[in-house]
Structure 1
Amino acid sequence: MPVSEGLDGAQRCGELLRELLTTVPRYRRRWQTQVRRNRSDDLSQAAVAEVLALHLWDTGERDDGQTTLARDLKDRVRRTLSGRGMSAQTLTWLIAAFDMTDQHAGRLWAAYSGDDSGQRGVAHTFRTVRPMIRPQRHRTISLFERYRIGADGALIDRHTWHTIIAVADGVGSFVFNHEPLPVTVDVILGGEVGQHYHYGGGLESEEIVLNRTLRRGDTAAVEYLTTYPPCAAQLTEIRRPARGRSENVDIAVAFDTAHLPTAVWWCVWDDHLENAPVREEPASPEDGVVHRFLPFIEQTAVGFRWQW
């Protein structure tokens, strides 16, 4: 059954999620084992909440002494399945709790982002490779970033929801690379900020220490907020680089509606910080927001540029 047209991203994602949970045998078996009364093929929100609670206890994201967790999650699950209150965090949890395939996860993220057109990813545009602090031992399986631009044209903050999967045993942290501008980087969920690094010819990074050490194949979801100082100069671009492969990438920039740019372009660069875009195309803000979803990025930098 195709996802219905005419719905917003969250509604389409909720519809697709219900379809997957009821038609894919191994997903259906997982929640059916938690049905406590009148076992049937009808999707049980309580059973889905039980699966989600078991996952959060198992991964340590919630204390196993929180005995009412499944009941507490039931309303969140109801809103998610209805598409009337879905969050990136809940979708991340459900994908991991049901051990969904990369293909199914990609379809859900694309629907959630409001762009399920199946457009291609971007890879291997870097001309030179900047040095890394240490080898990357994880892969990004979903990345949502929201940038806010103030009425003065300066960057206010950058809100990130980031899910990784370990590609080796003993992954206890990862490095968040950024430009040398932030005032603070605060981890809201999933870990804490560790050591700060300067490297890569103008790049800086924060180590994000996870709440638990991952084994190969384990996943972790982290939410962090980067804030920026008041700036006299107006910002004219944001770039999101990726060295290793990052999948299900959704980037949005929200401009203050009192001061909108005169033109915006979606861009691809061949460097983290320097040079003009190697590819670009016009982008049109809707209610002051420009947004793009990509199934993957690798060895590239993508983002938006604009003029005031």
Structure 2
Amino acid sequence: MAANDPSEFNQEAAGAAWARYLYDNDQLTGTDLVRYKAGASNRRTRGKRIKHHAMSRALSGKSLSLATLKELIDVFEIKRIDAQRLENIWHGKEYAPVVEGTLVQPPGFGESGLETVYIQEEHVLGPDGLPLRHETRQTVRSLRDGVDHFPHRFDTDELEVTLLKGGTQSELVQCESGLWLVKYVFYEPLKLGILQDFRYQLDFHYSEPPPTVYNRTIYGHYSGGWHLDVTFDENRLPNKVWWAEWETADPHSPIKHEEPVALDPDHSVHRHLVSISSAVAGFRWVW
């Protein structure tokens, strides 16, 4: 699989396009105008030279006014339906499919040489209300040459792990931290920047009911997004379900944001995020 990731944002190219828009609409003055003209023959430096205040704040993620948002919609010729969604999100009328937290990665975590790009998963509960199975498709990127496996840690051994695609798997063993670990071993070591897909299924056999929550702790950034489904059995439906974001990865962490969600006709709840970083998020429910 190619190493290039189309989900990566090219700030330099965006800045150049925005600068051209400002220039064409006579919105560049003073030093900005001089810098633009000086770099007009060099497409690579054109966006870097412009220090227009709105551009700088927006592209750095510091602030985005409604006027600047509308300007960006014009710059990038965003379709009307998508433009309306962006304005609804700005006004708080629609959920923004991005979560950015402040979670700090603990020492020693993430030394696998891989970063997750995208995850799609379904968590299925049985008629007794206990987790029945969990299916996941995951895409990772190699951060160095020679990475040959993905380490998957669990807080329980009351499950069976089956790697369905992408390599072979080791036995489930207990780590010094008290967690349990299985390794998904790739068919061949990865080179720097290469993407690797794999798919796995977990079958649970809990002896005691676990907490009524499914969440994921994300250290780093899932640039390609995250899609989560939680499906309930028709014979054991929850009374209420919430999408939630927690302050820390601790099981007793306070919730910093939550919103109620309704079950679909197939007894499922869903959430798709186009980006998530440094956060703990997922669904929780009560019977």
Match for residue 278 of structure 1 among 231, 256, 271:
256
Hey, what does 1:216 align to over in structure 2?
192
Q: Secondary structure at the match of 1:121?
A: strand
Larger radius of gyration: 2
For structure 1, list consecutive stretches of 5 or more residues without a partner in the other structure.
1-58, 60-95, 105-110
Match of residue 123 from structure 2: 147
Compared CA separation, residues 279 and 208, structure 1 to 2 (3 A):
same
**Counterpart position of 1:191:** 167
Aligned to 2:100: 122
**Is the CA contact (8 Å cut-off) linking 2:167 and 2:186 kept in structure 1?**
yes
Q: C-alpha displacement at 1:232, in angstroms?
A: 4.7
The alpha-carbon deviation at position 243 of structure 1 amounts to 2.1
Q: Verify the 8 A CA contact 2:159 2:203 in the aligned structure 1.
A: yes
Partner of residue 239, structure 2: 262
Question: Shift of the alpha carbon at 1:150?
Answer: 0.7
Aligned to 2:229: 252
1:178 aligns with 2:154: yes
Secondary structure of the corresponding residue to residue 209 of structure 2 = coil
- Shift, 1:118, TM fit: 5.2
User: 1:289 maps to which residue?
Assistant: 268
Change (3 A) 1:200 1:124: farther
**Partner residue of 1:299 out of 267, 278, 282:** 278
Q: CA RMSD in A?
A: 2.8
Residue 168 in structure 1 maps to residue 141 in structure 2: no
* Separation in structure 1 between the aligned mates of residue 250 and residue 142 of structure 2, nearest angstrom: 24
Does the aligned pair in 2 maintain the 1:131–1:199 contact within 8 Å? no
Task: Give the Cα separation in 2 of the matches to 1:262 and 1:244.
Answer: 34
- Alignment partners' CA distance in 2, 1:257 and 1:199: 37
> Which deviates more from structure 2 when the two are superposed, residues 155-164 or residues 225-234?
225-234
**1:24-61 CA deviation, whole Å, 9 max, x = no partner?**
xxxxxxxxxxxxxxxxxxxxxxxxxxxxxxxxxxx6xx
Find the aligned partners of 2:208 and 2:173 in 1 and give their Cα distance: 26
Moved over 4 A (4+): 199-202
Letter in 1 for 2:278: Q
Q: Secondary structure at the match of 1:256?
A: coil
How many Å apart are 1:278 and its aligned residue?
2.6
Are the equivalent residues in 2 in contact too, given 1:140–1:164 (CA < 8 A)?
Answer: yes
Match of 1:240 in 2: 216
TM-score w.r.t. the length of structure 1 is 0.58
Q: Can you give the 5+ residue segments of structure 2 that lack an aligned partner in the other structure?
A: 10-81, 83-93
8 A Cα contact 1:131 1:200, kept in partner: no
Aligned residue in 1 for 2:7: 102
Determine the C-alpha separation between the residues in 1 that align with 2:158 and 2:221: 25
Q: Give the distance between the partners of 2:207 and 2:114, measured in 1 at CA.
A: 34
Distance 1:136 1:299, change over 3 A: farther
Question: Against the structure 1 CA distance between its residues 241 and 185, is the aligned structure 2 distance closer, same or farther, given a 3 Å change threshold?
Answer: same
Give the TM-score taking structure 2 as reference length: 0.62
Q: Distance in 2 between matches of 1:257 and 1:174?
A: 35
How far apart are the structure 1 equivalents of 2:286 and 2:239? Answer: 6
